[in-house]
Every structure is written in C-alpha cells, then in structure tokens.
Amino acid sequence: MAIRLLKYALDRHHAEPRFFNTPQTPGESYDVVIIGAGGHGLACAYYLAQVHGIRRIAVLEKGYIGGGNTGRNTTIVRSNYLTPEGVKFYQRSVELFQTLGEELDLNLFYSTRGHFTLAHSEATLRTMRWRAEVNKHYGIDSELVGPEEVLRACPRIDLSCGGNHPIMGALFHAPGAIVRHDAVAWGYARRASQMGVEIFQQTAATGIEVEHGRVVAVQTTRGRIATGKVVSAVAGSTPTLLKMVGLPSPIDIVPLQACVSEPMKPWLDPIIVSGSLHVYVSQTARGELVMGAAVDPAELHSTRSSLDFVTSLSDQMLDLFPFLAGVKIVRQWAGMADMTPDFAPVMGKTSVGGFYLDAGWGTWGFKATPVCGETMAFTVAHDTNHRLIDAFGMSRFERLQMLGEKGAAAVGH
C-alpha cells in the first residue's frame, strides 16, 4: 500500500481529478489580469466572463486559491451596516449569496441563522437603534430587541455575563447567515475556469508597468503579461500593489485572529456578536464553534496566531457561556485586515488608467464577495464605477469625505 501510494505521488502523469483546468504557463497577453485568487478576485473573473462576455482573463495567486482572507474569516454574512452606502451594498451581497449555491452548482452550506449584536451599555444601545432605523429605511430586516429575546434564541447564554457586563438588548438581523468560505472561492473558480478564465496559483505579481498614465503589463514570477486592465484584489498586500503603480496607500494592515473548538452537539443556532466584549461566535454544521475577537493592536504583516488571543477570547466566551469551560480549541490562525481610516472599502477606478482597486476590507471582506465580484466586473467592463461603489473611491480621503462605517464593525478595533 505504502509503495503504491509513493508511486502515485511521484508519478507526474497520474490522472488527477481536477476541479478546474490550470494551464501550465501564462500566455503573453490577456484582456484583464486579476491579482489575487481569493473570493473577490475569482468572483470578479466569474462575473466578467458570465455577465460581460470577457473571457481572456488571467487570475494570479501567489499562494493557493482562497488561502488568504477568504479561508481565514469566520464566514458571517449580514447587511446591517450603518451608512446608507454600506447598507445598500451589503444588501445586494446577501441577495447574491442566497442563490449562489444554485448558480455555481455547488453546495455552499449557506445557513440563515439570525444575527444578534449584543449591547452591554446605553451608549451601544443608542448606536444600535440608529443602525436599526437606517437598516429599516432601506428595507433590511433589522430591529432592536430586549434581553429576553436573546435568551429565547440562545437559551444557554448567561445574560448577566458573569455579573460583569449584563446584556441590555441587541440588534437582531434575521437574514444573518454563515456559509462555507472555501467553497465560495472554489465555486467561483470552477465556473470561471469552465468559461475560459485561466487561474495561476504559485504565481506572484512582482511589478506593474505603467506607460503614459495607463497600465500596460504585469510582471510575474512566471514572466511578463501584457494587458490594459489590472484588478488588485488582494488583502494584506494592497499597499505593495499600490506602490507598483505609484499610488499612495490609505491602508494599515492589522492581524485579525480566529479559532475553532472541537465539535459539539448543536446548541447554538444564531450568530452571537459582542463588539464590547470582543467576541463573536457561530456553530458550524459540523458542530465546531467558530470564534473571533478584536483585531491586534498594532500594524503587523503576519498570519500567526497567539496564546494571548486564545486566552483572552476564552475569558470573554466564558462570561457569555460559562458551560463551555473544558471545551477544547483545536485550531487557530490569523488573517491580515486592510484597514482604511473610515472603515469602509476602497473600490473602483483609480487615477492610473486601467488599474482597478478592490481593497480596504478590514474585518468584513468575505461577506462582500459576490457584490464585489459583480460591481468590479461591471466597473472593469465599462471603465465606469458601478453605482453601488461610487462612494467608495480613493479620492474621498483627499476630499475628507469619510464614510464613517466604524459603528457597524462587529469586531473591536
């Protein structure tokens, strides 16, 4: 058996079941080069091919598909944002997510759970009331509820939080959901590839050539690719790509850590978030608790996770759910979050012709995957910002027109 396995591993010609075709080497030119084969880059490729008929596309990935923040987040989908721009944008994302499994012909385990953001103070309740009113104005199912409704949906919660931070109410968002993150990336990759998109893993962009203010080529670890359109869809490396085209970066990079517990019998149906306690948790179909906390306090370009993170997260979790004492944490990791000054993304056209940006996703990028794909594809195909991303342009920082989305962050900062 061991010899057979070894022979199979060493055989360069074995018939490997392929999820999608990967050409051996990139071609000399493409209509569009997308840098980053996470959910955003792949979704952009898919909608470019599917909706706009643009299929000569190369997607470059320095690591592996979905190995960046797509595979490192806690899979929460919601649209209960604070600014009208954010609410409309994420609402479209939720709509797209709801039928995405059928569209991509892949079970994404999309599971609508209801999403509670807990309030432990009058001040937080006030922000939530504000958020609920903005949400309702735009037709989003979002309301302020009392502690008894939190308890009804989650009977194992300790409403007093160990007597330390009693729960005074919550923002409840019924459409809040979780979805298999890697399946989203792989589903987009497979459908894009079936339409002719070429995806190159282990292929890093090392430079972007700009002539007379326009992009003309991308240099990669596997050669030069001529193109008139480049999409930057990377998290953690956006400042590096901006530097390649000579643009300033409004982004700081901070690690966001997460972990999962050993599997347990189902006990937690909704998604529970407490920005004040720095904790959010959901339970997967496999029974694991997926948990996260605040971002790390300083800029750091690293995906390592720390003991400090699990100990402080466990402290907060035990305030909310004391019966979890003794449950084991089995994996932990970090992603790199691109933070903008106003906690809203930076998207669309830039002052460099043919260079398009999909960045600044901070701690909420995964939930935007489908809408980013749809709006970026439109923007690239028409060289005009899609109306849903018009407010997210980089020039807002020069005009000091911040969007102020911090109040809707589920994560402490």
Structure tokens at 92: 């479209």
Span near ligand PYC by CB under 6 A; candidates 72-80, 167-175, 231-239, 342-350: 72-80
Q: What are phi and psi of 152, to 5 degrees?
A: -60, -40
Residue 119 touches ligand PYC, criterion: CB under 6 A = no
Residues 321-380 contacting ligand PYC, CB under 6 A: 363-364
Cα–Cα distance for residue pair 184/366, rounded to 1 Å: 10
Of 292, 335, 370, 373, which lies in the binding site for ligand PYC, with binding defined by CB under 6 A? Answer: 292
Distances (CA, A) of 249 to 111, 375, 398: 36, 22, 12
Structure tokens at 212: 């007379």
Span near ligand PYC by CB under 6 A; candidates 34-42, 73-81, 195-203, 371-379: 73-81
Q: Which is nearer to ligand PYC, 222 or 406 (CB)?
A: 406
Closest separation between CB of residue 363 and ligand PYC, Å? 4
Residues 382-411 contacting ligand PYC, CB under 6 A: 410-411
Structure tokens at 153: 């949906």
Q: Are 240 and 246 in contact (CB under 8 A)?
A: no
Span near ligand PYC by CB under 6 A; candidates 70-78, 128-136, 179-187, 381-389: 70-78
Cα–Cα distance for residue pair 36/205, rounded to 1 Å: 9
Q: Which is nearer to ligand PYC, 58 or 368 (CB)?
A: 368
Q: Which is nearer to ligand PYC, 76 or 389 (CB)?
A: 76
Q: Which is nearer to ligand PYC, 210 or 254 (CB)?
A: 254
Q: Which is nearer to ligand PYC, 78 or 92 (CB)?
A: 78
Number of residues that bind ligand PYC (CB under 6 A): 9
Residue 242 CB partners (closer than 8 Å, separation 6+)? 232, 248, 249, 251, 357
Q: To which residue do tokens 């029974």 refer?
A: 287
The separation between the first and the last C-alpha atoms of the chain, rounded to the nearest angstrom, is 52
Closest separation between CB of residue 343 and ligand PYC, Å? 10
Residue 78 touches ligand PYC, criterion: CB under 6 A = yes
Bridge-based pairing of strands 271-274 and 198-200 is unpaired
Span near ligand PYC by CB under 6 A; candidates 63-71, 74-82, 207-215, 325-333: 74-82
Residue 76 touches ligand PYC, criterion: CB under 6 A = yes
Residues 186-225 contacting ligand PYC, CB under 6 A: none
Residue 253 CB partners (closer than 8 Å, separation 6+)? 236, 239, 299, 300, 301, 336, 337, 338, 339
Span near ligand PYC by CB under 6 A; candidates 71-79, 81-89, 143-151, 323-331: 71-79
Of 280, 343, 361, 392, which lies in the binding site for ligand PYC, with binding defined by CB under 6 A? Answer: 280
From the DSSP assignment, how many helices (H) and strands (E) are in the chain? 11, 20
Closest separation between CB of residue 76 and ligand PYC, Å? 4
Cα–Cα distance for residue pair 237/245, rounded to 1 Å: 13
Structure tokens at 8: 């199979």
Cα–Cα distance for residue pair 130/209, rounded to 1 Å: 46
Measure CA 329 to chain center.
23
Closest separation between CB of residue 338 and ligand PYC, Å? 13
Of 70, 74, 193, 238, which lies in the binding site for ligand PYC, with binding defined by CB under 6 A? Answer: 74
Residue 284 touches ligand PYC, criterion: CB under 6 A = no
> Which chain residues interact with ligand PYC by CB under 6 A?
74, 76, 78, 280, 292, 363-364, 410-411
